[in-house]
Amino acid sequence: MRVLWVSAHPDPRSLNGALRDEGVAVLRERGHEVVESDLYAMGWNPVVDHGDFAHDPDKRLDVLTESQRALETGTLSEDIRREQAKLLWADTLVVQFPLWWFGMPAILKGWFDRLFVQGFAQGVPDPATGRAMRYGDGGLSGRRALVVTTVGANAATTGPRGIHGDINDVLFPILHGTLWYTGMSVVPPLVVNGTVCLSGPEYEAAAERLRERLVALPDTDPIPYRRQNGGDYDEHLVLRPEHAAGEEGIRIHYTGPGQTEPCETTGGPTEADR
Amino acid sequence: MRVLWVSAHPDPRSLNGALRDEGVAVLRERGHEVVESDLYAMGWNPVVDHGDFAHDPDKRLDVLTESQRALETGTLSEDIRREQAKLLWADTLVVQFPLWWFGMPAILKGWFDRLFVQGFAQGVPDPATGRAMRYGDGGLSGRRALVVTTVGANAATTGPRGIHGDINDVLFPILHGTLWYTGMSVVPPLVVNGTVCLSGPEYEAAAERLRERLVALPDTDPIPYRRQNGGDYDEHLVLRPEHAAGEEGIRIHYTGPGQTEPCETTGGPTEADR
């Protein structure tokens, strides 16, 4: 594999830093190529603004239009182009972060906001139909994506009936709305729970689980999300009534009755989340 | 009301800028006090780092611990303290943003990441039990919150069976996991769809809907999320089996069989999302 590993923690001595080092090491041991984007170490600027597009700040900024124009004319800012090139080189994307307020840290959200411009990751037309490719097809198709996230809450509270909501549903905007949207195959996330008080043995278990997931990654079945152009959605992009009949909610966007591969979790459900 | 209006668009001449001006104007006409945080205009720094906590960058940074220490010793960075003071002054929070990759723009995500530190918004113990207050109670209880978001996709595609997922589910990490988590009452979001090609009459309809929602805000029923300490969750914070029996997914965290108040949408479902 050619792996781009994107991480977003302010301290390399953190749990996230340690897991990243384990992960990158096992990939290299297995002969895979790994390139890193350590967003904090890079001082990554996460804020979309006029400067991204060499756009006159005295004029109104239409982000979609200007981002596509800048992409096509090669005038996207240099930091964006460098990261896009790393992503295009890769066949595998690992996105690793501590879950903050049930989402990515801002520095990482802004990596997607700034890189995934109109015409690059989204809004790429199908040559055959002229219709924008999306969900299972798109600017980044042919790539595989794995999310690795650390969560303070324990596994019970982010489980199917836990108070925080099922972690697979909470991550839907990232897994489905960002990675799958742009054409990537998305494997089930690796969720490390209970990180506020992770013991030594729990850390070792988490690192071992990460190594196993990385070694198995080329052969891991992706989450069975429905494809936009696979026939399940009608001309308005609404799920046809014969699929998940009478149901609503996030789970209807899987081709099966639910998630076929359970989310991997580590960390015990033995104590209430703090 | 004392309203803090937080907005996050790079251009004040945008649709988001126009809607904000309409909203702030109608609130003031009605005699409410409004304070703004226009994050782009402020040049807000969204990145959590050592500097937030007057922390030695040569030492390992534990964000939870250091943020609480800095809060308690009054050493949080000045920009964070200023924004926290505005939020404490307010009884109503309006959070307005263009939906980017099914979430907040990074500059706004980082407003929450940096302000909502341990001991302020989260991790505040109940004086009676010593247990952390959360979901319906917490550091920001007594406040009301409204999310206003603009979405390129049309209303059908973000509806109950639309390809992007029901917008109420997609916004769950913000509505439930951030605003309700910290104790705020969260009213249904105002979602303005179809913004890529919004016509003049569609803009007027969206502005009118916004004005109506703001005028009605003091009397709007909040989303009926379950309270952490209301008895519905067991000692592990897992939903008791007698509630939403046999069900999983985000909707089980409502006290009713689903959302009792439909999400407001504008923008027609007449053409496929682009």
With cut-offs at 50, 70 and 90, classify the pLDDT of residue A263: very low
- Any chain B CB within 8 A of the CB of A112? yes
* Residue B258 pLDDT exceeds 80: no
pLDDT at B160: 96
If you average pLDDT over every residue of chain A, what do you get? 92
Mean pLDDT of the region A87-115: 98
First to last CA, chain A: 39
Structure tokens at A167: 């972690």
Average pLDDT over residues A205-232: 97
Chain A touched by B245 (CB under 8 Å)? no
> What pLDDT, on the 0 to 100 scale, is given for residue B59?
92
Classify residue B251: in a domain, yes or no.
no
**Taking every pair of C-alpha atoms in chain A, what is the biggest distance, in angstroms?**
57
Question: pLDDT (tens digit, 9 = 90+) per residue, B61-102?
Answer: 999 999 999 999 999 999 999 999 999 999 999 999 999 999
pLDDT tens track for B202-252? 999 999 999 999 999 999 999 999 999 999 999 999 999 999 999 999 999
Domain range for residue B56?
Answer: 2-226
Q: Which long-range contacts (CB under 8 A, 24 or more apart) does B79-82 make?
A: B79/B44, B79/B45, B80/B52, B80/B114, B80/B115, B80/B117
B169-185 average pLDDT score: 98
Choose among A8, A15, A78: nearest CA to A37: A8
Q: Token pair for residue B46? A: 């969204």
Looking at residue B80, its amino acid is: I
- Cβ–Cβ gap B169/A10 under 8 Å: no
Which pLDDT does position B115 carry in this prediction?
Answer: 98
pLDDT of A267 strictly over 80: no
Q: Please write the tens of the pLDDT for every residue from A16-68.
A: 999 999 999 999 999 999 999 999 999 999 999 999 999 999 999 999 999 99
Q: What is the pLDDT, as a whole number, of residue B36?
A: 98
Chain A, 149-208: which have a CB under 8 Å from a chain B CB?
152, 154, 156-157, 159-166, 169-170, 172-174, 176-178, 196
**Stretch A144-160: mean pLDDT:** 97
pLDDT above 90: residue B267: no
* Closest residue in A to B172 (Cα–Cα): A170
Is A263 within the bounds of a domain? no
pLDDT at A79 over 90: yes
| Beta pairing, strands A144-150 & A33-38 | unpaired
Percent share of chain B, pLDDT over 70: 93
Number of domains in chain B: 1
Confidence class for position B254, pLDDT limits 50, 70, 90: very high
Are B156 and A236 a contacting pair at CB < 8 A? yes
A99 vs A241: CA distance, rounded Å: 35
- Res. B144: pLDDT tops 50: yes
User: In the prediction, which pLDDT does A266 show?
Assistant: 44
> What's this model's pTM, rounded to 2 decimal places?
0.94
Judge whether residue B141 has pLDDT over 60. yes
* Residue A266: inside a domain: no
Q: Is the pLDDT of residue A175 over 60?
A: yes
To the nearest whole number, what is the mean pLDDT of chain B?
A: 92
Residue A248 lies in a domain: no
Determine how many CB atoms are found less than 10 A away from the CB of residue A22. Answer: 17
Find chain B residues with C-beta within 8 A of A123's C-beta. Answer: 274
Residue B197 belongs to a domain: yes
Whether B192 is covered by a domain: the verdict is: yes
Yes or no: say if A162 and B237 are a contact pair by the CB < 8 Å rule. Answer: yes
Confidence of residue A261 (pLDDT cuts 50, 70, 90): very low
Asked whether residue B253 is assigned to any structural domain, the reply reads: no
pLDDT of residue A235: 94
The answer to the question of residue A178 being in a domain is yes
Where residue A257 falls among pLDDT bands split at 50, 70, 90?
Answer: low
The pLDDT value given to residue B166: 97
Q: Return the structure tokens found at B235.
A: 């000692």
pLDDT at A147: 98
ipTM above 0.90, yes or no: yes
Report the pLDDT averaged over residues B12-36: 97
Over 90: is that where the pLDDT of A132 sits? no
CATH number at residue B145: 3.40.50.360
| Bridge partners for A100 per DSSP | A103
Q: Which residue bears the tokens 């600017």?
A: A139
Tokens standing for A209? 């689980």
Closest CA in chain B for residue A173? B102
**Model pLDDT, residue B269:** 35
A197 pLDDT tier (thresholds 50, 70, 90): confident
Residue A271 has pLDDT above 70, yes or no: no
Residue numbers in A near B67 (CB within 8 A): none
Residues of B within 8 A of A113 (CB-CB) are 100-101, 105-106
Mutation choice for A interface testing from B48, B118, B122 by most A CBs within 10 A: B48
**What single letter denotes the amino acid at residue B140?**
L
Contact B123, B243 (CB under 8 A): no
List CB contacts of A85: < 8 A, sequence separation 6 or more.
none
